[in-house]
Amino acid sequence: MQVELRLFGPPELSWDGEPRALGLKKGWALLAYLALCGGSHGRDTLVALLWPDAPGEAGRTRLRRLIHRLPRVGAIPLVAADRDRVSLNPSLTFRIDVTAYRETLEAALTAPAGPGQRRALARAVELYGGDLLAGFGLPDSEVFDDWHYQQTEDLRQSHRRALMRLADLEADDGDLDAALATARRLVHTDPLDEASHRRLMRLQAAAGAPAQALAQFRECAGLLERELGVQPEQATVALERAIRTGGVPAQTRRPAVPETRYVRNGDLHIAYQVFGEGPLTVLVVPGFISHVEQIWEEPGLAGFLGTLAARYRVVLFDRRSVGLSDRVGYAPTLENTAADVLAVMDAAGVDRAVLFAMSEGGPSGVLLAAEHPRRVDALVLWGTTPKMVRESHDTTAPWAMPQPVFLAWVEQLVAGWGGPSQLEQFAPSVAGDPRFRQWWTAVLRQGGSPGTVQRVMEAFMDTDVRELLPRVERPTLVLHRSGDRMMRIDAGRYMAERIPGARLVELEGDDHWFWCGDTGAVLDELGAFLDSRAHPAARLQP
């Protein structure tokens, strides 16, 4: 017998064509978790999810009672349980709307571009039924509510990705009416996302409706002022000016921005981009936050990457839980990031790459070079550290941040999430630039939620790759600015001393980010190193 479980919107349960009452909030939570996670789960795991404050045996008793109170389909219980594990009953056939949506979307995103992909994406978009378990929550279980939030955000972002790709395909087919309708739906999913407004404005201009595009700009600007107290980004203002003066070409996408692709790693989809041509592939391992599309809105960063792409193939990606990649409800480990890198390399057809590992991405680069040397041609470490946090009494890593200081810094970072949080520490040379402040605000807001990034940062508390440093046998360049306010120069010196044959270059300046400050010096050193790994050729020019 088929059981229908609708989890988009308010949850609904039915079989034999009849809705069935459940009346148990913990029952809905249990069914949703089993349905979306699949497989069987330990009783202790479910107790921790539903009754995190209950003592062991008391929680297990509550779980037994809950399972007993769930309705039956005839004589068949909805849930199968033995002494240790619980699952949806395999004797029943479950039709789950979220599962159908995810399977349809995955098939659509991996299908060849063309009419077939457009039809598949349109089906996936229609299957999305709004927020997961809308209006539902467990006041006595922060653990479940956190899992629910992560699942909801993952589904929202996947829906937005589908709408973006569908609008592009519709525009490519010349079906501007359909593309406009899809772009409007995209704006509705996140009215504060300026990139979505710009997409709609370009389509309106291309459709011969500049007045609508200018009205869309005013709507966007008004929303930003009312909700965030900020002005539109420079890219949005420039687009409005071009439309007003009749200077917008009849195109719907900016060809300078590479196409975002996805690779599946286990149950997760990892976003990545590939662009440029050359004898080497440079894969950028990002820091704690990234967004492979939003980064192209910053002229300095876009110019830096464009310079690299003029000589080499470049790969960008968003680590799990940030940017355009799927969200997870746990703190991603170094091993998780390494696995994401390898999955992206396989999808991009890259056998070996030069890893350009920056900031918090540095330890993952070290892990990859030590554990997977056949996949790493060379390693470039920018402004990073082998150990980010130390206990206050620990004297073995004096350049690491004391734990109380780190926790206070993370608290400040999260507290300022609605604005350009901690920009004075990351890039003091541009901290007063209104355009840059708006861009950084957008990266933070679109790259991840405060809770997601807090979990990502918590993972760094246990990061320590010092023992791996002597095992790195790939050519290594360590680049570090002497006045870096986030990662002390002594951390770079420590790494260079312990990686066999590593070369340390100490650059002037106090910006943590490589595309701020004297980027010419960075490109000179990076270009010379890359050229030495390829063949004699002209050095990169800033």
Q: What fold characterizes domain 270-387+464-533? A: Rossmann fold (3.40.50)
Range list of H helices, 173-193: 176-189
Interval 309-354: pLDDT, tens: 988 999 999 999 899 998 887 888 999 999 999 999 999 999 999 9
pLDDT at 502: 97
CB atoms under 10 Å from CB of 213, counted, come to 24
pLDDT at 539: 34
Q: Would the pTM count as exceeding 0.85?
A: no
pLDDT at 253: 39
> Who wins on pLDDT, 345 or 56?
345
Nearest to 203 by CA among 143, 146, 252, 156: 252
Interval 455-506: pLDDT, tens: 888 888 889 999 999 999 999 999 999 999 899 999 999 999 999 999 999 9
Range from 124-128, 263-267, 475-479 carrying the lowest mean pLDDT: 263-267
Q: Is 42 exposed, middle or buried (0-12, 13-18, 19+ CB in 10 A)?
A: exposed
Can you read off the two tokens belonging to residue 442? 């957008």
Of the pLDDT bands very low, low, confident and very high (cuts 50, 70, 90), residue 115 is confident
Across the strands, what pairs with 94?
3
Q: Is 451 exposed, middle or buried (0-12, 13-18, 19+ CB in 10 A)?
A: middle
Is pLDDT above 70 for 541?
Answer: no
Interval 372-416: pLDDT, tens: 999 999 999 999 999 999 987 888 999 998 888 888 888 888 888
Q: Is the dihedral of CA 289, 295, 299, 301 positive or negative?
A: positive
pLDDT at 256: 57
Whole-angstrom distance between the N-terminal and C-terminal Cα of the chain? 66
pLDDT at 251: 43
Average pLDDT value for residue range 97-102: 94
Residue 260 near residue 317 (C-beta atoms within 8 A): no
Identify the CATH homologous superfamily for domain 98-244: Tetratricopeptide repeat domain (1.25.40.10)
Average pLDDT value for residue range 437-458: 85
pLDDT at 161: 81
Q: How far apart are CA 63 and CA 69, in angstroms?
A: 10
Average pLDDT over the chain reads 89
pLDDT at 37: 87
Spell out the domain ranges in the chain. Answer: 2-97, 98-244, 270-387+464-533
Nearest to 36 by CA among 128, 117, 81, 101: 101
pLDDT at 540: 43
Please state which architecture CATH assigns to domain 2-97. Answer: Orthogonal Bundle (1.10)
Share of the chain above pLDDT 90, in %: 58
Q: What angle do CA 136, 137, 138 make, to 5 degrees?
A: 145
Interval 224-254: pLDDT, tens: 999 988 888 877 888 899 899 886 644 433 4
> Who wins on pLDDT, 321 or 537?
321
Can you read off the two tokens belonging to residue 226? 């009312």
Can you read off the two tokens belonging to residue 368? 């990859």
pLDDT at 248: 62
pLDDT at 535: 53
pLDDT winner (highest mean) among 22-26, 106-110, 417-421: 22-26
Is pLDDT above 90 for 132?
Answer: yes
